[in-house]
Amino acid sequence: MLLPSEYLGRQGPLAQRVTDFAPRKQQMEMADAIAHALERETTFVAEAGTGTGKTFAYLVPALLSGRKVLISTGTKNLQDQLFHKDLPVVREALDIPVTAALLKGRSNYLCKHRLTLAEQDAHIESKIHIRKLRQIRNWAIKTKAGDTTEIPEIPEGDSIWPLVTSTSENCLGAECSDYNDCHVVNARRLAQASDVVVINHYLLLSDMVIRENGFGELLPIADAFVIDEAHQLPDVASNFFGISVSGYQLNELVTDIAGA
Ligand code: SF4
């Protein structure tokens, strides 16, 4: 069997399939080091400068490893790019039957139950909201994944999304009449069954918190994790595990102490 670096070399399949592909020494070394770490089930940390081609450097060994690998990116945009662009290129070049899934947090998937509720809600009088609900319904009929990024006209953060997506508090779970065809449930099932799952740091840490508190799990059990853009992980982690104190709270505390 070829080493990952050979797949990324001058005569390798990526050079033959990708236009303007240029073999890079650091990329090849990084790929072999990652393969070694996967085999030994150990940790490997690399700081790869721009132009190293780190995405291919971890995708090649991850796909070749035959293990269940979770790849986490810093942002959802990069998550989409990795899943829809880079991963298919590498998978096709390696010509191996690796299954892959994209998994995001539940607020990124249409909730069919809540869409119906929103359409029936007599309090929704805003014409803009009614128009957006129609747009969402037209899309809901066609979409397979129910990923909200499939409607670019309604951007992330739009006030309509909380009305038609779910939270763990308002989801009906197995009691829901749409459960068998629920986008959140389907995305999680697909992630369970796939060899490679592309997630983001936010979901990775949410899963850690939920597991720690004994409330279940969001992610499938994996053999290995690839943390891309790991420099962003501490910031995201501080949102989950950190404690924040505002200037106002500090001021109150000092005032209380001074008055005691
Ligand atoms: S199971 Fe939950 S997320 Fe899925 S459609 Fe029903 S309420 Fe929405």
Angle between helix 201-212 and helix 233-241 axes, rounded to 10 deg: 30
Q: Where are the domains of the chain?
A: 4-99+194-241, 107-181
> Which of 178, 59, 34 has its CA nearest to residue 115?
178
- The pLDDT, as a whole number, for residue 146 is 98
Summarize pLDDT for 4-17 with one digit per residue, the tens: 999 999 999 999 99
Whether the CB-CB separation of 219 and 204 falls below 8 Å is answered with: yes
- The pLDDT, as a whole number, for residue 127 is 87
pLDDT-wise least confident of 113-117, 186-190, 240-244: 240-244
Reduced to 3 states (helix: H, G, I; strand: E, B; else coil), residue 126 is coil
CB-based contacts of 118, cutoff 8 Å, min separation 6: 124, 133, 163, 164
Beta carbon of 176 within 6 Å of any ligand 1 atom: yes
Average pLDDT of span 77-104:
95
Residue 172 pLDDT greater than 80, yes or no: yes
- The pLDDT, as a whole number, for residue 68 is 98
Task: Specify the CATH class of 4-99+194-241 in words.
Answer: alpha beta
Beta carbon of 172 within 6 Å of any ligand 1 atom: yes
Task: Tell me how far apart the alpha carbons of residues 169 and 229 are, in angstroms, rounded to a whole number.
Answer: 31
Task: Tell me how far apart the alpha carbons of residues 109 and 42 are, in angstroms, rounded to a whole number.
Answer: 34
- The pLDDT, as a whole number, for residue 49 is 83
Beta carbon of 184 within 6 Å of any ligand 1 atom: yes
Average pLDDT of span 56-76:
96
Residue 181 pLDDT greater than 90, yes or no: yes
- The pLDDT, as a whole number, for residue 166 is 97
- The pLDDT, as a whole number, for residue 122 is 75
Whether the CB-CB separation of 195 and 136 falls below 8 Å is answered with: no
Beta carbon of 182 within 6 Å of any ligand 1 atom: yes
Residue 1 pLDDT greater than 90, yes or no: no
- The pLDDT, as a whole number, for residue 63 is 97
Average pLDDT of span 90-117:
96
- The pLDDT, as a whole number, for residue 236 is 92
Could you give the percent of the chain with pLDDT greater than 90?
Answer: 80
Query: Is residue 28 classed exposed, middle or buried when 0-12, 13-18 and 19+ CB atoms within 10 A define those classes?
Result: buried
- The pLDDT, as a whole number, for residue 22 is 92
Whether the CB-CB separation of 35 and 65 falls below 8 Å is answered with: yes
Task: Tell me how far apart the alpha carbons of residues 130 and 160 are, in angstroms, rounded to a whole number.
Answer: 10
Task: Tell me how far apart the alpha carbons of residues 191 and 187 are, in angstroms, rounded to a whole number.
Answer: 6
- The pLDDT, as a whole number, for residue 216 is 83
Nearest CA to ligand 1 atom 8: 111
Nearest CA to ligand 1 atom 7: 171
Query: Average model confidence (pLDDT) for the chain?
Result: 93
Residue whose CB lies within 8 A of the most ligand 1 atoms, among 109, 112, 136, 181, for a mutation test: 112
pTM of the model: 0.89
Residue 240 pLDDT greater than 90, yes or no: no
> Which of 86, 108, 67, 65 has its CA nearest to residue 200?
108
Q: Which residue's structure tokens are 């662009």? A: 85
Residue 241 pLDDT greater than 90, yes or no: no
Average pLDDT of span 71-96:
95
Residue 80 pLDDT greater than 80, yes or no: yes
pLDDT-wise least confident of 157-161, 217-221, 255-259: 255-259
Whether the CB-CB separation of 71 and 103 falls below 8 Å is answered with: no
